[in-house]
Amino acid sequence: MTTTASGQVSTSKTDDRPQAHLGLTLLALSAAGLVVSLQQTVVIPLLPRMIVQLHTDVSGVTWLFTAALLTGAVFTPLLSRFGDMYGKKPMVMVAMTVLIIGSVVCALADTLGVYIIGRSLQGISSAMIPLAIGMIRDTFPRERLVSAIGIVSGTMGVGGTVGLLITGVIANHTTDPHPVFWMTAGLGVVAVVLIQFSAKNNGVRHGGKPDYLGAALLAGLLICLLLGISEGPRWGWGSGSVIGLFAGAVALAVIWVLVELKVAQPLVRLQLLVGPQSLSANIASATLGFALFGSFTLISNFIQTPSDKVGYGLSGSVLSVGLYGIPSAVLMTFFSFNTGRIAAKIGPAYTLAIGSLFAGLSMGWLTFSHDHGYDMIIANILQGTGFGIAYAALGTLAVQHVPMSESGIASGINSLVRTAGGSIAGAITASILSAHVIAHTQVPTVNAYVASFAVLAVGAFVAAAVALGHGLRHNGK
């Protein structure tokens, strides 16, 4: 603080304090976002090893990935609603604390069932991202909103790719998967400390009662759907068990909609799910989640497939998975910091369409060309560019049209459909790989991978088309 010649006090240094605090808040929320997205993928490169270690198959071990996405899909809208009701910072702390607990459970696990329990607890932390976006909307000035939301949203892809690299480094020194989970627990503690001392609990809160029935119905329908898809090849698509699961999913979906329409404060306000401006953002989010999370598992398995034994694959190690992902991580980081400028000029919808197009080209490349290491590098360059742009724009598109008091739940619903899309992708690709295997082995054929890459590419291209249509209808917004 200084005194001018006229005797007036200059507040230049004081004015810098709010800006510095906003920077610390963004740093803390971004760090937490990185940890959350990292925990979603750290297990992926380990899946081939864990098939042997846990005496299971592709379908069984995939649940270590799908379980986290499933609980994320259920608890994200619930904790987002709690955030709007009681404050977003306490719910962020809850989400991160459960992540730490789940990580410790996995670090101590030695059976598939215990791992799935731990991974399910870790998955609840997915609610942190929409809660963080809500906190940003409550705290940041309008001129910094797009960039700040873009940075936090971008951590979903960056952290996921970094997780693959870190796991690769650890796995290069030990076959024991437990150190990976001790690492996520430690990083979770660091994130909790940063948030506690830097973020404020701002925003308007409103009372109400949680919609536990809606959450239970949503969990039931997702479990029936995913279990039917993942077990279809093993049980038989025409078996009574699979048909019963799909029928149960449909019945629970109908009941869930009826309940949500009648409850005073529903878990998912359907207007925010299928409203005029919400629907396209949520469809794009679901199909992008489908493409991103599906690609993580698929690419990891393909890289580690020994070409000398089965005639395809890159014969890579767990570390190779992370190294191939470096271009993707770098580009996701770059675009998460810079997409805000693009979105401010042409609108988030058109920006999302561009990113989704690149994401589709990534999987499209691997559909037609996957025999060499440079194919994987090219695909990762396209992937990092695409998802870095798309997710940064999607965070803004999901909340810009809703009242401030509903920013948490709007972002939560968008995150719900994204993680649900990722869960479905994991189940579908596991089903394809399990259904088409080399004779007398459990190893998928190369055509099974090609079909899976193509399915994921279609998902990303659908997101691009939906975003483009939204932009044309709403002038890019």
Summarised one tens digit per residue, pLDDT across range 316-367 is 988 888 889 889 888 888 887 788 788 888 888 999 999 999 999 999 999 9
Residue 315 one-letter amino acid? S
Q: Residue 405: pLDDT above 70?
A: no
Give start and end residues of each alpha helix (H) in 140-211. 142-171, 178-198
* pLDDT number for residue 375: 96
Q: Among candidates 227, 261, 230, 267, which has minimal Cα distance to 247? A: 227
Confidence of residue 12 (pLDDT cuts 50, 70, 90): very low
* Rounded-to-integer distance, Cα 4 and Cα 324, Å: 58
Mean predicted confidence (pLDDT) in 102-116: 94
Averaged pLDDT score across all residues of the chain = 84
The residue length of the chain stands at 477
Secondary structure letter of residue 10 according to DSSP: E
Alpha-carbon gap, residue 418 to 145, rounded angstroms: 22
For residues 95 and 77, give the distance between their C-alpha atoms in angstroms, rounded to a whole number: 12
Q: What is the CB-side half-sphere exposure of residue 355 using CA atoms within 13 A?
A: 38
Residue 200 has a CB neighbour count (10 Å cut-off) of: 12
Tokens of 366: 């691997």
Express as a percent the part of the chain with pLDDT over 70. Answer: 91
Q: How far is CA 402 from the centre of its chain?
A: 22
Q: What is the pLDDT of residue 104?
A: 97
Listed range (7-16, 303-312, 402-411) with the worst mean pLDDT? 7-16
Cα separation, 388 vs 392, whole angstroms: 6
Q: How large is the C-alpha radius of gyration of the chain?
A: 22
Name beta bridge partners: 437.
444
The residues near 23 (Cβ < 8 Å, ≥ 6 apart) are none
- Whether the full predicted model's pTM is greater than 0.85, yes or no, is no
Question: 156 pLDDT band (50/70/90 cuts)?
Answer: low
- Asked if 323 and 438 count as a contact pair (C-beta separation under 8 A), the reply is no
What pLDDT was estimated at residue 408? 65
| 228 close to 250: Cβ distance less than 8 angstroms | no
Query: How distant, in Å, are the alpha carbons of 26, 77, 146, 282, 417 from that of 276?
Result: 31, 20, 21, 11, 16
C-alpha span between 174 and 85 (Å, rounded): 45
Phi, psi of 314 (to 5 degrees): -115, 5
Which pLDDT score is estimated for 476?
A: 56
Q: Using 50, 70 and 90 to split pLDDT, how confident is the model at 11?
A: very low
Rounded Cα distance between 470 and 477, Å, is 8
